[in-house]
Structure 1
Amino acid sequence: MEHAQNAERLRAQLADFWGKPVRGLPRAMDLMSSMYLTASGHDLAHNPQAVSVCLSQCTATADAYRTCDVWVAPHSMAERIASHPLVRHPTLIAENLERTAPARNGLAYFPTPVQLNNLYPVHGIAWHLEGTGERLAISVETITATHLVASRLPPQMAQSTKLPLAPYCPNGIYTLHEGRIAGCGNPHLFGAPDPVNALAVVLAFWDLRAPHNRDSEGPDNTDASEDALTVFQHTRPDHGSKKSGRGRKGQRQSPGKRRIRVIREPTHTPAPPVRPADTTDNTVTVNGIPEPNWKEDTLRWGVSMRHQNRCPNPHQHRAIIEAGGECKPVKVPVKAHVNGPKGRDVDPRRTVRIVPARD
């Protein structure tokens, strides 16, 4: 349920980033301007035609996020996408996208991000199909952590680019039309995959989300491998959804809800190979005696100390350190608790105390 709420929050924050005006223009225009500058070497404001195209793209993308279907990918899918033949092959052949796409507007959230070589981790992908037939165009976005987007940009450009006030941000924007795929800006400076690889990630997700029922007709043929969860619609990027309100007649309004599709993990986790009973592979032995298997034989153990030094800003710690700041640890009380696999007995011979760091 937590991942479904995070995916809905990501959808709402990106919809605001692309569509909500700030001083007359959506915040995404700053990102588009930086991408345009890295590709052309010119300021976007000096090209009225390009400004019009970017504004139209912002509007269309915001509308797509407001109506898109949302998926939560399983943890195992990140590794399988990174090793998918479509992603690893240098060329890509995209066939009938209208028939292949699970939805015309879609967003996939990866709780475990996709790692592609030395690029920024891909926490999400989004696509938007516009038109039909020969006039079909597909827009693709790769989404990464916001604090990473500006780290490769020139210092002056990094300071002038206004990014969303949210954990995630688009770092690659691509369009495929009439067999030609193009991206906005220099993807290397934004830690994003090149246009072909970005499209390959989307197609790999489309392929992996439907490992069963491939003979079924229609775009939505994976109900057997997905769980549909209903979460409160996230309407404000910073304060969460407004779960209560009153209409014109004073009647309490019910909060809006959205359907989030969670792909089941076992569907994408290959079964372990069956080994003969007498095999000793991966078994540690000492003097011919097998050592205990940690996963099967470990008991729980008690932790008795009451204090521990911890970071006062755990959610912003990484961003503060990368910006050159410092997080001095503070001593906080920690209740006595038990660690180890749940459902096991407690080992009375093993105790652990959390020792505070020396001043």
Structure 2
Amino acid sequence: MIDVYRDLCASAGAAFRASEVWLAPHSMADQLATHPLVNQDYVLIDTLEDIAPARDGFVYFPRPIRLNDLHPMYGLAWHMQLTGEDLAFSAETITDTRLIPTRLPPQLANSIRLPLAPYCPNSLTTHVYGKLVSYGNPDPFGAPDAATVLALVLAFWDLRAPMARNAEDPGDPSEDEDTVSVVQQDGPLPGTKKSAHGRKNKRSTQSGPKRRIRVIRESPYLPARAPDTREDGPAATEAGAMAPEPIPQPSWKDETLRWEVSMKFQNRCPNPHQHRAIIEAGGECKPTKVPVKAHFNGPKGRDVDPRRTVRIVPDRS
């Protein structure tokens, strides 16, 4: 059994490195939590190969999926091997690494060695020859059961259906997605070392391979507003009462004015891009004082507000 589990982890790790990656919008987590597939008593599986947007995939949720008292799920990953009747399917849920020891027995929680990454898998589910299996005991790790993991993956596939992409070129993102490329590995490539001679050895400091990420736009997944059926006034309800007028939402773009910032010193992090990773790994970023010149903040071309107006952010909770 241990050898089988190691093989599964090795194949899943290879799938992580070669998978299609999506960045989900904030509203998608709520839609997945309330999706019919996730909230019904059973899940019917057709041909996984026909409905999957990619054979190997990973999706990250900035706002995690929350189900009951389980750990929040910041990511879903799936991996397919072989084809047809021999198809082997596996899926993983990704959660906050710091939450892993919260449900373990105290003696085990104190001795466990957690990874340094901010997120890590907390469940592994497989579907082979019609059998759905969950490896490990998911309860101490705050992980959903095998059926729920499969339902979550299928629910995401339902939202990101293959036909939503360009049928002529499957590599092109759909009109509801933007594409960005990021470096897979920070720092110099393996086998090279940083040169102390500046530009003499450029190849030693070249960046690693890039990975394409599909950024799903927020607009298609925001709840639609009720259609306005008014002709001369608000539409009447069935009981004859008048529908209330919609409350206009404030817009910081329209209502924000510029404000003056005088000369001062501020504490700044010397490593702003790596600050979160350094803190979560147990390191420390000592702030340094830097001078800030006198300037004006806010949209250009606006009047200066002596009350220092800040931008208005609509409440989307």
When the two structures are superposed, what TM-score results if normalisation uses the length of structure 2? 0.72
Letter in 2 for 1:143: I
Matched, 1:54 2:5: yes
Residue aligning to 1:82: 33
Aligned runs of 1:20-169 on 2, under 5 Å?
A: 50-169=1-120
Deviations 1:60-82 (A, max 9, x none): 12222222121111222112111
Distance across 2 between alignment mates of 1:308 and 1:228: 36
Q: CA deviation at 1:118?
A: 2.2
Secondary structure of the structure 2 residue equivalent to 1:223: coil
- Structure 2: unaligned runs, 5 residues or longer: 194-200, 235-243, 311-317
Residue aligning to 1:268: 221
Distance across 1 between alignment mates of 2:122 and 2:301: 45
Distance change in 2, residues 1:348/1:169 (3 Å): same
Q: CA deviation at 1:269?
A: 2.9
Residue aligning to 2:255: 298
Q: CA deviation at 1:148?
A: 0.7
C-alpha contact (below 8 Å) 2:118/2:280 kept by paired residues: no
Secondary structure of the structure 1 residue equivalent to 2:251: helix
Query: Residue 308 of structure 2 is aligned with which of 351, 356, 359?
Result: 351
Distance across 2 between alignment mates of 1:111 and 1:229: 16
Residue aligning to 1:242: 188
Matched, 1:178 2:129: yes
- Compute the RMSD of aligned alpha carbons: 4.1
Distance across 1 between alignment mates of 2:303 and 2:259: 7
Distance change in 2, residues 1:66/1:319 (3 Å): closer
Secondary structure of the structure 1 residue equivalent to 2:9: helix
- Structure with the higher helix share, 1 or 2: 1
Q: CA deviation at 1:149?
A: 1.1
Deviations 1:211-260 (A, max 9, x none): 964895897685333223222222xxxxx2426958xxx88275322222
Distance across 1 between alignment mates of 2:266 and 2:68: 37
Aligned length: 281
Q: CA deviation at 1:160?
A: 2.7
Distance across 1 between alignment mates of 2:249 and 2:58: 41
When the two structures are superposed, what TM-score results if normalisation uses the length of structure 1? 0.64
